[in-house]
Structure 1
Amino acid sequence: MKKAFYLFFALAFSSASAQQATSGADAKLPPVVDFTAQQDHQHMMKQLGIKALRPGPSGDESAPNHANYDEALANPYPNLPEVLTLRNGKKVTTPAMWWNKRRPEIVEEFEREVFGRVPKNAPKVTWKTLISEREYVGWIPVNAKQLVGQVDNSDYPLLDVKIAMTVVTPANAKGPVPVLMMFGPSALPAPAQPPKESLEKINTALKDLLIQQDPSLKEVFEQYPAYNPIASQVPAFGPPPAGDPPTTHQLLRAGWGYALIEPGSIQADNGAGLTKGIIGLVNKGQPRKPDDWGALRAWAWGASRGLDYLENDPAVDARHVGIEGVSRYGKAALVALAFDQRFYMGLIGSSGEGGAKLHRRNFGEAVESLTSSAEYHWMAGNFLKYGASEATFGSKNAKDIQVDAHQLIALCAPRLTFISYGIPEKGDAKWLDQQGSYMATVAAGPVFRLLGAKDLGVGHDYKTAKMPGVNVSLLDGELAWRQHDGGHTDAPNIRYFLEWAANWMKEKPASGSNR
């Protein structure tokens, strides 16, 4: 007994000493700056010498500063930056010139001015499986794993970043399967339940505990003897709901797997979080510099770290991993596909400004929507310059950005790139500028062609390009477009995406840049 006491005392003393040592080391580190989003925004404006920003257009069509929806006024800057011309004016005529010269030029512009740079000292991520079990999704047996990616914070222990991801693959697959990574909450599809006997024990113990807490509950339980605090999960029977099955069901039925990676576990979706999350961790809790990465690039970085894991999962065909997202996560998915050539394909849903929409278009959402609003944190600090009305450098607007959305799409070439939108009548607002995104997709075509891939097949004149009708598919090339008749989602396009991708995987089984 005495020996056990001394052992306990020694362990407690050792733990306390370790905590004191850690606390002493942490005391030498700069504390986390706790800015509000407004304070952080002002801090970036001060760094850039910006005195005033133009307000973004209103989405309320009755407001005095409402967004433009008149096509006659939509193209004040009709000439897009040349996608296949070097800075020195020389035309890009070979794949080698694209890979070795032009592509790096475009990447540099996007990193410095639009999305920010991933720091060279970005920490490593170590993946750990929290739960691994057999489950069922729509009567399909699956292997489901809930994972956490621990980001190395040894350089700044004051912040802790853990990336949440779930990976689900069909249990009866004969080999590795393609996987679509999707931005969303990381959750197991149908967590396994204890058997009936174990559940009875849990309920008995829970009732006893509740009665100890509140003796009056004994009368309630006696009055309702069949009631249990934890009910058993009974699968629902009956006909399936109308319309297409859920996206996850469609993927599994097609023999694919899927991964759900949680953006908020990588970086918060607000300006106040920029001194925290992965951006804050690398910056040791301090505010960003103008070319530091924003949330879109951080989410894309997190997706790449998820891909690191998938490349070592024997159930996954790592040559055929795709990335998917809708709205702000459609922007992030496009950024991930553009910057990480290991992603074989992408489904880019309703991405709008900062995604597939042209910055130079004056239709719906605008550059100023991102520079002067609560969404500035998606972008690099330098992007604020293009909304400036008064600054030490004068003023700038969308025409001053050296790159545009067509070049972001072109960075995905020659890999499978599916641009998806819905219709305003169902909630995919005009604000997103579906036409402007179609023009950008057309304008990216020459790069796909140069690299031996097929584009939309409608020519390259983006100035006169008109969107095809709703539910008209342009899916004959590695670059694809389809506007479905649903709302702010890409779910109605999933079955078309799966068929399209499957055809190309048969034709071009190897992934990568084809360099």
Structure 2
Amino acid sequence: MKRIFYLFIFSSFRVLAQTTPATDASNYPPQVNFTSDQDKTNMMKRLGIRAMRPGPSGDEKAPNHANNDEALANPYPNYPDVLTLKNGKKVTTAAQWWKERRPEIVEDFEREVYGRVPKDAPRITWQVKVTDREFMGFTPIIAKQLVGHADNSAYPLLNVNIAMTLVLPANAKGPVPVLMMFAPSTLPAPAQPAKEELEQINEAVKEMLLDKHPELKTIFEKYPAYNLIAAQNYGFNPFAPRPAGDPPAAQQLIAAGWGYVLIDPASIQADNGAGLTKGIIGLANKGQPRKPADWGALRAWAWGASRALDYLASEPMVDIKHIGIEGVSRYGKAALVTMAFDERFAMGLIASSGQGGTKPSRRNFGEALESLTGGAHYWMAGNYMRYAASDADFGSKTANDLPVDSHELIALCAPRLTFISHGIPSQGDANWLDHQGSYMATIAAGPVFKILGVKDLGLSNDYKTEKMPAVNTGILDGRLAWRQHDGGHTDGPNIKYFISWANKFMAPAVAGK
């Protein structure tokens, strides 16, 4: 029977190989394979840049260490007015914001900072690979692993398959809110075969091995209790010792009646400059280098999150009106970009995002614009490099020449729920991130929330004078929120505050309860 089975499999592959047409690579432009430095040099040539200012070092002992002196932190103290049109006219109504000012800001961010998504970006087709009934703690859940295949018919030399996991409470009475998180796509506690079923599997595997390798018989006889496939326990053990602190975010979300999504950013676009002719950016460009206004990795990750939201609209147990996006560090940047550009996301937990996220580019504190153009140019549009140019066809530019800044990116999230999270430097959320600057940007974004009829932080919007609250003192009364916890480079200590804060604004239709 086994020989018949193997013959059937072999024949199926042979027929498939005969009927599936091979891709003729000569019909398509060959994929360019740059190193990260080569890609950066190519973009500099496109832009007419001969030299760029180096970014500061994160090592405080280095001669070019980043500034941590607040007295030197504001060389460009005046940020662009979020409610002043380019023609100088003041925005005084919500209609003016939506019809005039917001489109101006979006255009500037797309052209100069994060890049444009191509109008013909590949379509994504989602496929459920695994549906598993599991437990998280004592709560039954339904977990699905999905793959989103990008249409590569225009350039079959590249494949992009987005990895995503969706986890929902099994006993919810109605659709539940969902928090999407940038993270590897993994099942929380894969269901395992029962003991008797595992014994059957092991016996069958041994038989197959002995059929091909009879010399193994003496080994199996020597170790009769040995199982080739051992029992696995991914589940929750209530008696196991637990680390200090709150449960993981996933457990807190499920316990609160929410669902969550894990979307793997690496499956959308590589986190390096050499990957720009691969991934979704490379597929859209048919394997060729980017043009100056093309999207970078941050925008690509955000685009992938939007495609995941497309799928969630088909899930009956997902409350599509209450989908959130979360990320920490570089993925905090990506989460903020996601919120800003896709208004379908109802809430965001933006954690420790630094330059390119909530930190103002005009601040000279910690991470700088030049840090990104030097070491992470691939996160941003090519045009972003112009603002670090010291010698170029157009002269030179600085962060003060940027038409937009981080407070306006936060403002693009209004009036939706936007929670800005940080830890403290002594625990690892380094000065590099510029906590004070992030708070200033949050303050400066407030007028847009107000003009749209919702509460911001509830303070004045004078970002030059408002004082950052004490650690563990949250400002959680409005749709714009701030909390700096006493942990490190994580948003774990703020998850419970985020959930309770968001629930207030979603009540009474929370978690299908």
Normalising by structure 2, report the TM-score: 0.94
Distance 1:423 1:47, change over 3 A: same
Q: Which residue of 2 aligns with 1:382?
A: 383
Count of residues paired in the alignment: 499
Deviation at residue 215 of structure 1 after TM alignment: 6.5
Write the distance in 2 (CA, Å) between the matches of 1:434 and 1:10: 60
Write the distance in 2 (CA, Å) between the matches of 1:143 and 1:351: 31
Distance 1:476 1:507, change over 3 A: farther
Q: Which residue of 1 aligns with 2:248?
A: 246
Deviations 1:448-501 (CA, angstroms, capped at 9, x unpaired): 000011111121110112211110010000000000011110010000000000
Deviations 1:218-267 (CA, angstroms, capped at 9, x unpaired): 45543443232222234534155131011000000000000000101110
The correspondence of residues 443-482 of structure 1 with structure 2, limited to 5 A, is 443-482=444-483
Write the distance in 2 (CA, Å) between the matches of 1:11 and 1:237: 47
Give the secondary structure class of the aligned counterpart of 1:27. helix
Q: Which residue of 2 aligns with 1:197?
A: 196
What amino acid maps onto 1:202 in structure 2? I
Write the distance in 2 (CA, Å) between the matches of 1:132 and 1:445: 43
What amino acid maps onto 1:401 in structure 2? L
Distance 1:98 1:507, change over 3 A: farther
What amino acid maps onto 1:364 in structure 2? G
The correspondence of residues 124-139 of structure 1 with structure 2, limited to 5 A, is 124-139=123-138
Deviation at residue 139 of structure 1 after TM alignment: 1.8
Q: Which residue of 2 aligns with 1:88?
A: 87
Q: Pick from 277, 298, 306 the counterpart of residue 308 of structure 2.
A: 306
Write the distance in 2 (CA, Å) between the matches of 1:187 and 1:508: 29
Q: Which residue of 1 aligns with 2:176?
A: 177
Write the distance in 1 (CA, Å) between the matches of 2:329 and 2:215: 51
Give the secondary structure class of the aligned counterpart of 2:32. coil
What amino acid maps onto 1:249 in structure 2? Q
CA contact (8 A) 2:58 2:66 kept: yes
The correspondence of residues 275-424 of structure 1 with structure 2, limited to 5 A, is 275-373=277-375, 375-424=376-425
Gaps of at least 5 residues in structure 1 are: 510-515
Give the secondary structure class of the aligned counterpart of 1:473. coil
What amino acid maps onto 2:505 in structure 1? W
Deviation at residue 207 of structure 1 after TM alignment: 3.6
CA contact (8 A) 2:325 2:335 kept: yes
* RMSD (CA atoms): 2.0
Deviation at residue 74 of structure 1 after TM alignment: 0.2
Deviation at residue 12 of structure 1 after TM alignment: 5.3
Percent identity, please: 68
Write the distance in 2 (CA, Å) between the matches of 1:253 and 1:237: 15
Give the secondary structure class of the aligned counterpart of 1:474. coil
Q: Which residue of 1 aligns with 2:152?
A: 153
Deviation at residue 507 of structure 1 after TM alignment: 7.5
Give the secondary structure class of the aligned counterpart of 2:128. strand
Distance 1:69 1:121, change over 3 A: same
What amino acid maps onto 1:384 in structure 2? M
Deviations 1:271-299 (CA, angstroms, capped at 9, x unpaired): 00000111011100000000000000000
The correspondence of residues 217-228 of structure 1 with structure 2, limited to 5 A, is 218-228=217-227
Distance 1:507 1:415, change over 3 A: farther
Distance 1:9 1:197, change over 3 A: closer
CA contact (8 A) 2:137 2:238 kept: no
Deviation at residue 197 of structure 1 after TM alignment: 2.0
CA contact (8 A) 2:292 2:382 kept: yes
CA contact (8 A) 2:294 2:382 kept: yes
Q: Which residue of 1 aligns with 2:58?
A: 59
Deviations 1:366-406 (CA, angstroms, capped at 9, x unpaired): 00000111x11000000000111111111111101010000
Distance 1:203 1:114, change over 3 A: same
Q: Which residue of 1 aligns with 2:29?
A: 30
Deviation at residue 192 of structure 1 after TM alignment: 1.4
Q: Which residue of 1 aligns with 2:166?
A: 167
Give the secondary structure class of the aligned counterpart of 2:21. helix
Normalising by structure 1, report the TM-score: 0.93
Deviation at residue 191 of structure 1 after TM alignment: 1.1
Q: Which residue of 2 aligns with 1:109?
A: 108
Alignment of 1:493 onto 2:473: no
Give the secondary structure class of the aligned counterpart of 2:27. coil
Mean Cα deviation higher: 204-213 or 33-42: 204-213
Distance 1:324 1:10, change over 3 A: closer
Write the distance in 1 (CA, Å) between the matches of 2:199 and 2:509: 54
Deviation at residue 17 of structure 1 after TM alignment: 6.5
Q: Which residue of 2 aligns with 1:266?
A: 268
Deviation at residue 150 of structure 1 after TM alignment: 1.0
